[in-house]
Amino acid sequence: MTDYFTETGSAETVNARVGEGTDPRLATVMAALVRHLHAFIKEVQLTGDEWDVAIEFLTRTGQICSNERQEFILLSDTLGVSMLVDALNNRRPAPATENTVLGPFHVADAPMRSMGDTISQGGKGEPCLYRGRVFDLAGNPVAGALIDVWSDNEDGFYDVQQPGLQPKWNNRGRFLTGADGAYHFFGIRPVSYPIPHDGPVGMMLQALGRHPWRPAHTHFMVSAPGYERIVTHTFVAGDRYLESDAVFGVKASLIVDFVPDPTGQAQWCADFDFVMVPA
């Protein structure tokens, strides 16, 4: 049968062209993508002008990308796709620590620091003691867990957003737990900030009546041999954007009370334990 393109059989015609030697997973994913894309276009009865706008939007999304700016990650985050992919791939039993969105501001190989050090190089912001322990599911301490932490500064910017203005590695560091699985270090109480919104994603949010703000949070990536890596944040309880995070990253288990530091060393103290699951 000749498979000329028709409106009704559009997706099937495209998918029938896939060659025999194609990687099976690629064939499955692409066939589903084509099916859903064609169904979407039919559902909304997309006009030619609307498709031109979409092409222009994606073109600008690519054009604004650089080493410091990843607009496609922002697009994925603001559409809830990053959180959905993470949810599908990181189902964990309680009381394991839940993941949340990685975001575009992680930098690999931050300086290794000693317990009790500060990650705040700028000397501004409200000082905060971060402390807790890393456990396995049975409640045993995890020794040798690498805690990679990063946060914004007192004005809501990561160091990589303000090169030359902020010291390199400001509000970043890595810490290794000892036999008791404990960690403690100093940083600042983070502040809520808008995700970069001067590009196509910002225009999309505005057109949809959505704000670009994220509630105040501190990022953590915790890894240890034999355990699943945790990519998460702690969120500051009481933040006005907890229920409307622009990237849908908030989970109830990750909200932490920042209390006056009982040790008197800092203004605030945030206690949080991480629970890891076997790899």
> Interface with ligand BEZ by CB under 6 A: which residues?
74, 77, 101, 103-105, 195, 214, 247
Question: What distances in angstroms separate CA 154 from CA 11, 233, 260, one per listed residue?
Answer: 51, 17, 18
Residues 101, 250 contacting (CB under 8 angstroms): no
What, of Fe ion, ligand BEZ, none, does residue 131 touch, CB below 5 to 8 Å by kind? none
Residue nearer to ligand BEZ on the CB measure, 60 or 184: 60
Q: Could you tell me how many residues make up the chain?
A: 279
Smallest gap from Cβ 20 to Fe ion, in A, equals 45
189 binds, among Fe ion, ligand BEZ, none (CB under 5 to 8 A by kind): none
Q: Where are the beta strands (DSSP E) in 85-171?
A: 127-136, 146-151
| Residue number, nearest CB to Fe ion | 103
Whose Cβ is closer to ligand BEZ: residue 195's or residue 276's?
195
Question: Could you say which DSSP state residue 118 is in?
Answer: B
Which residue in the shown chain puts its C-beta closest to ligand BEZ? Answer: 103
Cα 200 from Cα 121, distance rounded (Å): 33
Quote the least distance from Cβ 85 to ligand BEZ, whole Å: 13
Report the amino acid identity of residue 60. R
CA-CA distances (angstroms) from residue 191 to 156, 194, 213? 6, 10, 11
Q: Which residue has the tokens 């009790």?
A: 116
Q: Supply the minimum distance, in Å, between the C-beta of residue 51 and ligand BEZ.
A: 27
247 binds, among Fe ion, ligand BEZ, none (CB under 5 to 8 A by kind): ligand BEZ
For residue 245, the partner it binds in ligand BEZ, Fe ion, none, with Cβ less than 5 to 8 A by kind, is none
- Contacts of 22 by beta carbon, 8 Å cutoff, 6+ apart: none
Question: Closest CB to ligand BEZ among 69 and 229?
Answer: 69
Residues 87-116 that bind Fe ion (CB under 5 A): 103
